């Protein structure tokens, strides 16, 4: 079977801009392609592979659960689901869990819970669901309607009615937009696709005050920032956002499709039988993987490690910024790192690939790094050295071109 860009074009809808390499396996933080080339993976399956590749505890949990039961559906009770739900509740102090399969499905479930909760108040105008400009919440219709950038929604209208957007970190706009018609406000405490921006403390404080006044829900989308990536299990604790619902996905299933919505006591009784559900949600193999993943994060102190290596990357990129004018800014929260550059960041993705380092471009001019939480200081340094080389070569080429003119 040819696994190359030509056959990809023939076989698939053209919705993914894939890198021109076929990967076959991984070892630690290294992803290996079919010709045996090893790539330092600073993307980790878009923030999924928190433990890197080949963690034996994860492999064992998946294979032993697969040997016992791969799927039965939510017609039944299954221990791995119960164990993972209990763990998430103990980590959050919340009351209830709903499992789905992807980030966008968690957002859909949260929108439904919020609207039904608001309707129970007796105010039938209380339907409005708001998000923040520059955000990303997913690509199914509800989540897409909350997602900021037109490039994701162009051509797909009409979107979900009753949605709107508050300008990111703009308290005056927040005050102008929320009212007693507001059912919920979705926030990403650290915006990922939006280029690594953290919501400000004054904005969060005002949002919480307005929640008291107008009685709406605060919903934290922790799909990219959660499960330890920013140095704490949930990033909302760092700004004391006190959400009513939290959406998790990406690393939650250890690389298998799994997402969760966890809800506080306020929303605990909103859903009734048949109100919501999904055949695969809370698949026992994915839940067993999730339990192993969280255990490994705790056993190996990976949250503290993410903070430490993130700070190291930040310091090293600051040093690069002092000598490379291409770097405009670095924004870093644990191992969510955004390096703002003076041109389209995708230029550097191809150059890094040639040097066998996988980086990602987001929000046009931001190099995004989301490495496995297990990355060592030496491996992080290898990425920094590669970026240094790329910027140095670019400057040398520009100087040579200027001389030729």
Residues that bind ligand PLP (CB under 6 A): 46, 102-104, 107, 136-138, 188, 192-193, 221, 223-224, 249
CA distances from 150 to 144, 146, 191, 386 (A): 10, 11, 16, 33
Q: Which is nearer to ligand PLP, 211 or 368 (CB)?
A: 368
CB-CB contact of 117 with 267 (8 Å): yes
Q: Smallest gap, in angstroms, from Cβ of residue 101 to ligand PLP?
A: 8
Closest chain position to ligand PLP (CB): 103
Helix (DSSP H) and strand (DSSP E) numbers for the chain = 13, 17
Q: What is the distance of C-alpha 16 from the center of its chain?
A: 18
Q: Which is nearer to ligand PLP, 223 or 303 (CB)?
A: 223
Q: Smallest gap, in angstroms, from Cβ of residue 46 to ligand PLP?
A: 6
Q: Smallest gap, in angstroms, from Cβ of residue 221 to ligand PLP?
A: 5
Q: Smallest gap, in angstroms, from Cβ of residue 392 to ligand PLP?
A: 32
Residue 226 and residue 166: Cα distance in Å, rounded? Answer: 22
Q: Tokens for 10? A: 């023939």
Q: Smallest gap, in angstroms, from Cβ of residue 213 to ligand PLP?
A: 27
Q: Smallest gap, in angstroms, from Cβ of residue 123 to ligand PLP?
A: 28
DSSP 354-381: HTTEE-EEETTTEEEE---TT--HHHHH
Residue 259 and residue 192: Cα distance in Å, rounded? Answer: 17
Q: Which is nearer to ligand PLP, 46 or 66 (CB)?
A: 46
Q: Which is nearer to ligand PLP, 277 or 325 (CB)?
A: 277
CA distances from 113 to 183, 185, 244, 316 (A): 10, 13, 11, 44
Q: Tokens for 352? A: 């890094």
Widest Cα–Cα separation across the chain: 74
Q: Which is nearer to ligand PLP, 92 or 131 (CB)?
A: 131
Q: Which is nearer to ligand PLP, 41 or 221 (CB)?
A: 221
> CB within 8 A of 3, min separation 6: which ones?
22, 34
């Amino acid at each position: 079977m040819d696994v190359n860009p030509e056959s990809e074009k023939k076989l698939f809808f053209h919705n993914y801009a894939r890198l021109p390499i076929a990967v076959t396996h991984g070892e630690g933080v290294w992803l290996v392609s079919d010709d045996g080339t090893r790539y330092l993976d600073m993307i980790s399956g878009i923030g999924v592979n928190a433990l890197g590749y080949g963690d034996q505890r994860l492999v064992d949990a998946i294979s032993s659960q697969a040997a016992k039961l791969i799927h039965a559906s939510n017609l039944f009770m299954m221990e791995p689901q119960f164990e993972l739900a209990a763990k998430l509740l103990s980590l959050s102090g919340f009351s209830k869990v709903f499992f789905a399969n992807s980030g966008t499905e968690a957002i859909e479930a949260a929108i439904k819970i919020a609207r039904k909760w608001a309707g129970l108040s007796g105010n039938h105008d209380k339907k409005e669901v708001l998000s923040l400009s520059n955000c990303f919440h997913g690509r199914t219709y509800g989540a897409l309607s909350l997602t900021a950038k037109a490039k994701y929604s162009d051509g797909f209208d009409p979107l979900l009615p009753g949605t709107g957007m508050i300008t990111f970190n703009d308290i005056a706009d927040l005050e102008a937009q929320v009212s007693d018609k507001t059912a919920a406000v979705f926030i990403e405490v650290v915006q990922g696709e939006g280029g690594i921006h953290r919501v400000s403390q004054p904005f969060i404080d005002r949002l919480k005050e307005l929640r008291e006044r107008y009685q709406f829900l605060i919903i934290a989308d922790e799909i990219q920032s959660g499960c330890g990536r920013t140095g704490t299990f949930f990033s909302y604790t760092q700004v004391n956002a006190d959400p009513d619902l939290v959406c998790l996905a990406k690393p939650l299933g250890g690389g298998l499709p799994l997402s969760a919505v966890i809800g506080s006591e306020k929303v605990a009784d909103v859903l009734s039988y048949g109100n919501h559900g999904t055949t695969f949600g809370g698949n026992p193999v994915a839940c067993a993987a999730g339990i192993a993943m969280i255990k490994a994060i705790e056993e190996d102190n990976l949250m503290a490690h993410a903070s430490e290596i993130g700070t190291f990357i930040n310091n090293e990129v600051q040093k690069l910024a002092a000598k490379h004018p291409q770097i405009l800014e670095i924004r870093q929260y644990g191992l969510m790192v955004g390096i703002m550059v003076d041109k389209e960041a995708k230029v550097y993705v191809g150059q890094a690939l040639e040097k066998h380092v996988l980086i990602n471009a987001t929000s046009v001019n931001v190099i995004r790094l989301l490495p496995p939480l297990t990355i060592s200081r030496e491996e992080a340094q290898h990425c920094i050295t590669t970026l240094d080389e790329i910027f140095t070569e670019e400057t040398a080429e520009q100087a040579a071109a200027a001389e030729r003119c």
